Structure 1
Amino acid sequence: MALVLKDLMTIQRQLKAQSFFLIIILFIAAFMQQGPILFAFITFIAATQAITALTYDELCNWDKFANTLPITKSDIVLSKYLLGIALMLIGLTIALPFAFLISYIADKGETINFFLTFSLIVTAAFCLLALLLPIYIKFGSVKGRMVLIAACFVPGFLVGLLEDHIAQFLPKFLELQNLSFFAPIAGLVILWLSSLISTAIYEKKDF
């Protein structure tokens, strides 16, 4: 928890700046009557801040100092995951009543689709964090950006290439939408597996 607190103190100025943009996004979401926009913005900000904490650590050679302390490398890695999860959950919890009210008014009282969207966005947030942290821990802030771009480009290229085949299976996926409420559990499992990978990567790094 001390490591998480250290990261929060490191990024506190950026969090204050992002809160200003959150107010702007709130007005945009209300104007467009699209509550989930708030969730998408918070997911992006939370993941960005977790990476920002890693970048600051890299710039000041924090890892060299941290590895002289009586803490394990797994604790150092785990603190980044806890930071990302905490920021996401706090942000999503704060935005939930506003997004719910906007969606409730826009959909005239129908809430089932809202909670379905919320569940999928939470899952996407976990998966995004699970993708970003191992890449940045392995390659650092500079090379990590390049690897991330490549990692996003390849799936996008494959989707465009296999668009006709994916369309054939889309109705079958839509039939499973009722199971989407359990998707965050799968997201947590993916995040846990990602933490194991990140820990293995970090333990092999030479500081």
Structure 2
Amino acid sequence: MKGLLYKDISIMTRSFKGNILLLMALYGVLILVTREAYLAYAMTAVWGIYVASTINYDEQAHWDAYAATLPVTPGQVIGSKYLLCAASTAIGAVLSLALVFLAGVGGAEYTLGILACAEVSVLMNALLMPITYRFGAAKSRAYLMIIVFAIVFGACFVAQEILQNRMLRDSANMDIALQSQTAIVVGAVALSLLLTAVLYAISYTVCVRIYAKKEK
């Protein structure tokens, strides 16, 4: 598993180093200058896409044929992708959260917004990776565009609208409302994390079966 992770990390470092640095610099400067948190949401959601892109390089190098000769199981091959995707998204979320607080616009609402976008990124890859292994990297690009525009930016827009609406609400009975909202938010966060974990596990299982059939 360590070797598989090292291989994917090496691909990301060599192939996407410039893109990642540009992403961090561009979004970082814009967040600090404009103090707009939705840019952090977008950066968090996009961060995990780079992991799914490594499948394209595997396909071009005929990695699957070579991997079949190694003492690794389909579960380990796919597991390294899913583990790296989750780790990459977590790193993106932490960096986004740090930039938001440096810009002076941090708060519980923005933390929840970044967490929501991180979950969207994980779920997006959970949907994308089985499609990529099933239909190939070339055909999956169209699915990727649909997923990015329909889910990622849609989720970021909805998160921003929700935060703005909450800021405009009447402050009457704030203490009672705050206690009620806090309980609801905590429950919603716990439920969403559980649902994300379940869907991610289902996606992993489906992807392993697809990959195992390709090896036969």
TM-score strictly above 0.5: yes
State how far apart, in whole Å, the 2-side matches of 1:53 and 1:147 are: 16
Q: List gaps (5 residues or longer) in structure 1.
A: 157-174
> Given the alignment of the two structures, is residue 188 of structure 1 paired with residue 190 of structure 2, yes or no?
no
State how far apart, in whole Å, the 2-side matches of 1:112 and 1:95 are: 14
From 110, 121, 131, the counterpart of 1:125: 121
> Given the alignment of the two structures, is residue 62 of structure 1 paired with residue 81 of structure 2, yes or no?
no
Q: Deviations over 1:140-193 (max 9, x none)?
A: 11111234456679x79xxxxxxxxxxxxxxxxxx8555332223321221111
CA RMSD of aligned residues (A): 2.5
State how far apart, in whole Å, the 2-side matches of 1:71 and 1:81 are: 16
> Given the alignment of the two structures, is residue 136 of structure 1 paired with residue 132 of structure 2, yes or no?
yes
C-alpha spacing 1:151/1:100, structure 2 compared with 1 (3 Å): closer
State how far apart, in whole Å, the 1-side matches of 2:92 and 2:206 are: 26
C-alpha spacing 1:150/1:118, structure 2 compared with 1 (3 Å): closer
State how far apart, in whole Å, the 2-side matches of 1:147 and 1:117 are: 25
Q: Deviations over 1:45-104 (max 9, x none)?
A: 322x112210000001010000111110111111111121121112222332222332xx
How big is the shift at 1:112?
A: 2.4
Amino acid at match of 1:187: T
State how far apart, in whole Å, the 2-side matches of 1:138 and 1:126 are: 19
2:32–2:102 contact (8 Å) kept in structure 1? no
> Given the alignment of the two structures, is residue 146 of structure 1 paired with residue 147 of structure 2, yes or no?
no
Q: List gaps (5 residues or longer) in structure 2.
A: 152-180
State how far apart, in whole Å, the 1-side matches of 2:142 and 2:105 are: 40
Match of 1:162 in 2: none
C-alpha spacing 1:130/1:202, structure 2 compared with 1 (3 Å): same
1:120–1:180 contact (8 Å) kept in structure 2? no
TM-score by length of 2: 0.74
State how far apart, in whole Å, the 1-side matches of 2:148 and 2:95 are: 29
TM-score by length of 1: 0.77
Q: Give the aligned length.
A: 183
